[in-house]
C-alpha cells in the first residue's frame, strides 16, 4: 500500500466516516435557539450535505447534519460535529480558518493539533487537489449556517 494512501485515509478518517457524529434529523423550524441551515453540493461528484447550526443560550453550538458522500466528506462532517460539542463560536471560527488554510497548503503545512484536534488527520488530503472540496464541504456549510444563525440573532436583538 502506498504511503500516500495511508496519509490520505488516516484511521481517524475511516473511523469517523462510519461513526458520522452529528448525523441526525435536522430540527429546522422546531429549533428553539437562533439557527441557520446550509445545503452544500459538490457538483463534480454529487456529494451533498445539509448542516444546521443552533446557537444555544449557554454560548454553545449544536450541530446537526444529514448528507451523502465519500469517506472524506462524511468524516469531515463528523469531526466538525465532535469539535463543535466542546468549542465556542470563536474557537470554531479559529478551527475553520486553520482547517481552510491547511487544506489549501498542497501538503506543505504541518497541522497544528492544538487548534485542529482530530481535524489534523486531514493533512494528507491537501496533497490531493480533487479531494480538498470533499474535506471542506461540511465546513463551508458550517460557516454559511453560522452566518445565518448570527444574522438571525442580530435581528432578534434589534427587534
Partner 1 sequence: MFSRLRGDFPILDVRVGESPLSYLDSGATSQKPQCVIDTFVEYYAQRNAAVHRGAHSLAVEATDAFENGRIAVAGLVGGTPEQVCWTKNATEALNIVAMGIDRASRGFGGEAAQRFALGPEDSIVITEMEHHANLVPWQQLAASTGAQLRWLPVTDSGELDLSELESIVDETTKVLAFTHVSNVLGTINPVEMLVARARAVGAYVVLDACQSVPHMPVDFTVLDVDFAAFSAHKALGPTGLGVLWGKSELLDALPPVLTGGSMITTVAMEDSEFMPAPQRFEAGTQPVAEVAAFATAVGYLAEVGLQDVFDHERELGRLLLDGIAEIPGIRVLGDAAERIGTVAFDVDGVHAHDVGQYLDSQGVAVRVGHHCAQPLHRRFGVTASTRASTYLYNTAEDCRRFLTALAEVRPFFGVA
Residues making contact with partner 1 (CB under 8 A): 1-2, 4-5, 8-9, 14, 18, 44-48, 68-72, 74, 128, 131, 134
Closer CB to partner 1, residue 8 or residue 55? 8
Q: Whole-number minimum distance, CB 19 to partner 1, in Å?
A: 12
> Least CB distance from residue 12 to partner 1, whole Å?
13
Helix 129-158 crosses helix 71-85 at what angle (to 10 degrees)?
40
Phi, psi of 68 (to 5 degrees): -145, 125
| CB closer to partner 1 out of 20 and 60 | 20
Q: CA end-to-end span of the chain, whole Å?
A: 59
Q: In the bound complex, what is the minimum distance in angstroms from residue 13's beta carbon to partner 1?
A: 10
Closer CB to partner 1, 36 or 69, in the complex: 69
Q: How far is the CB of 74 from partner 1 (least distance, A)?
A: 8
By beta-carbon proximity to partner 1, the closer residue of 2 and 114 is: 2
CB of 23 to partner 1, least distance (A): 15
Between 4 and 97, CB nearer to partner 1 = 4
Amino acid at each position: 500500500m502506498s504511503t500516500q494512501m495511508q496519509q490520505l485515509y488516516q484511521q481517524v478518517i475511516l473511523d469517523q466516516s462510519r461513526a458520522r457524529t452529528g448525523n441526525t434529523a435536522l430540527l429546522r423550524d422546531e429549533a428553539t435557539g437562533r439557527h441557520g441551515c446550509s445545503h452544500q453540493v459538490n457538483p463534480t461528484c454529487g456529494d451533498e450535505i445539509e448542516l444546521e447550526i443552533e446557537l444555544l443560550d449557554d454560548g454553545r453550538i449544536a450541530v446537526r447534519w444529514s448528507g451523502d458522500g465519500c469517506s472524506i466528506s462524511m468524516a469531515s462532517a463528523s469531526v466538525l460535529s465532535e469539535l463543535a460539542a466542546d468549542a465556542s463560536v470563536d474557537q470554531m471560527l479559529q478551527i475553520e480558518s486553520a482547517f481552510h488554510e491547511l487544506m489549501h497548503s498542497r501538503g506543505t503545512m504541518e497541522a497544528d493539533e492544538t487548534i485542529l484536534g482530530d481535524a489534523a488527520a486531514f493533512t494528507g488530503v491537501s496533497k490531493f487537489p480533487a479531494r480538498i472540496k470533499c474535506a471542506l464541504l461540511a465546513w463551508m456549510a458550517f460557516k454559511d449556517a453560522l452566518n445565518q444563525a448570527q444574522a438571525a440573532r442580530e435581528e432578534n436583538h434589534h427587534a
